[in-house]
Amino acid sequence: MDKLVALCKRRGFIFPGSELYGGLNGTWDLGPLGVLLAQNIKHEWWKSVVLKREDVVGLDSSILHHPKVWEASGHVASFTDPLIECKVCHERFRADHKDQIAKHEKAHPNPAWTDIKSFNLMFKTFLGPIDDEKNKTYLRPETAQGIFINFKNVVETSRVKIPFGIAQIGKGFRNEITTGNFLFRVREFEMMELEFFVKPGTDKKWHDLWKQERYNWWLRLGIRKENIKLVDLPREDIAHYSKGTTEVWYNWPFMSFGELEGIANRGDYDLSQQAKYSGRDLSYFDQKDNERYIPYVIEPSVGIGRAMLAFLIDAYYEEEKRVVLRLHPKLSPIKIAVFPLLGNKNELITKAKDLYKTLKTSFEGEVAFDDRGNIGKRYLYQDEIGTPWCVTVDFDTLKDNTVTVRDRNSTKQERVAIGDMLTFFTRLLQ
């Protein structure tokens, strides 16, 4: 893990937040390659959850909601974690994180613990210039409530009919008691959430379907089967209103299998609560069955940082002569790197630059140009950042207009005609 964190910093994927001032706990900044990786993950999610389906639409709600939203959702009363403090050194822990407490007890023999308190994870803030109770609201800890409070708007303005979903990608904030394990537990993170509304009674079927759909998405994007599993949580581990929660667990290096994504059957809890607190009717009239009801909701929800971490861990390989990120090409920040064989031969540079510009404008995906150092070093650099294909313009190119394409995983090379480049890479990327 330390090696991966170092690579992410060295190559410009992820920087510690506010590093200039010594860092800010639980925050990370995405560098140029991190932004591309995150965009690719979001794009693949949006494509599979929204674009390729006929029954899901998108939404982008504001981060700040009316404070009543959070009373209705139950977050004000119970979005809490159990907090415990060591009276000797005043370090604070989550009381349910037994491994961390055990570690602390080893370092501090006979620690004295405070009683367990409930700590609310929502960040408070104030609307306008007066910091008082009346103006208090919260940074959203999830994007889901923004969907529930817009349920009626969407039903009334689009042609959706149950079963249908509303998807949203956006920032969430949680004042976690302890943060750590790189991107795994942070205080500010982007989330990808789908609320899929169904007729009560059909919820089990749809829950099973989304479990399978989401599990397959991870496999399709290259997560190794042995590192991922679906786990149905026992009753005592889920919210009282939930009709069942399943999690996608990943085999993390710091924890043998733990949550990567949650897929919950939330019943009609959220819409009923928002209806009760707002005094508005959030029921749905089902014309097909001539029936009115509050829909049940199936919710797949995943953090982009946590997803990014799983993809990076799964792709990281140390080989005898290189470190390689075997990212799925659809996720790779850079898809193609174009080189002139030698960095000091003008005719090679010009030809390579022309090819780079053509690919850059016509190819769907990021393309890079590199003429620094020798070709071996350039390959090593591209392997480390997960670029699936490197294209080299050499002296034969000047004669026959073909180039060498080198595959990241096998390191095998083949000759391809420049005229065929676009179709060649488009086919590979599919």
Return residues touching ligand ATP (CB under 6 A).
174, 176, 185-186, 189, 191, 259-262, 301-303, 305-306
Do 371 and 324 touch, CB atoms closer than 8 A? Answer: no
Instruction: Report the distance separating Cα 241 and Cα 365, nearest Å.
Output: 43
Nearest residue (CB) to ligand ATP, 302 versus 405 = 302
Nearest residue (CB) to ligand ATP, 250 versus 381 = 250
Nearest residue (CB) to ligand ATP, 264 versus 334 = 264
Question: At its nearest, how many Å lie between ligand ATP and the CB of residue 191?
Answer: 5
Q: For residue 203, how many other CB atoms are within 10 A of its CB? A: 23
Question: At its nearest, how many Å lie between ligand ATP and the CB of residue 125?
Answer: 18
Question: At its nearest, how many Å lie between ligand ATP and the CB of residue 192?
Answer: 9
Do 200 and 295 touch, CB atoms closer than 8 A? Answer: yes
Nearest residue (CB) to ligand ATP, 119 versus 424 = 119
Task: Tell me the angle at which helices 2-10 and 304-315 cross, rounded to the nearest 10 degrees.
Answer: 100
Tell me the three state secondary structure of residue 198: strand
Nearest residue (CB) to ligand ATP, 4 versus 391 = 4
Do 357 and 338 touch, CB atoms closer than 8 A? Answer: no
Instruction: Report the distance separating Cα 314 and Cα 259, nearest Å.
Output: 15
Nearest residue (CB) to ligand ATP, 302 versus 368 = 302
The CB-nearest residue to ligand ATP is 303
Cis amide bond preceding 163, omega within 30:
yes
Q: Measure the CA dihedral 210/163/46/156, to 10°.
A: -150
Single-letter residue type at 227: N
Question: At its nearest, how many Å lie between ligand ATP and the CB of residue 252?
Answer: 11
185: Cβ contacts below 8 Å, ≥ 6 apart: 26, 176, 178, 179
Tokens of 296: 């049940």
**Sign, Cα dihedral of 108, 110, 114, 117:** positive
Question: At its nearest, how many Å lie between ligand ATP and the CB of residue 243?
Answer: 15
Nearest residue (CB) to ligand ATP, 144 versus 336 = 144
Nearest residue (CB) to ligand ATP, 306 versus 406 = 306
Question: At its nearest, how many Å lie between ligand ATP and the CB of residue 142?
Answer: 6
Question: At its nearest, how many Å lie between ligand ATP and the CB of residue 120?
Answer: 13
Question: At its nearest, how many Å lie between ligand ATP and the CB of residue 187?
Answer: 7
Nearest residue (CB) to ligand ATP, 195 versus 366 = 195
Instruction: Report the distance separating Cα 341 and Cα 386, nearest Å.
Output: 20
Nearest residue (CB) to ligand ATP, 241 versus 424 = 241
The backbone torsions φ and ψ at residue 120, rounded to the nearest 5 degrees and listed phi first, read -80, 130
Question: At its nearest, how many Å lie between ligand ATP and the CB of residue 9?
Answer: 19
Alpha helices (runs of H) in 279-374, residue ranges in sequence order: 304-315, 346-362
Nearest to 77 by CA among 117, 133, 118, 116: 118
Do 178 and 157 touch, CB atoms closer than 8 A? Answer: no
Question: At its nearest, how many Å lie between ligand ATP and the CB of residue 82?
Answer: 12
How much is the CA Rg of the chain, to the nearest whole Å? 25
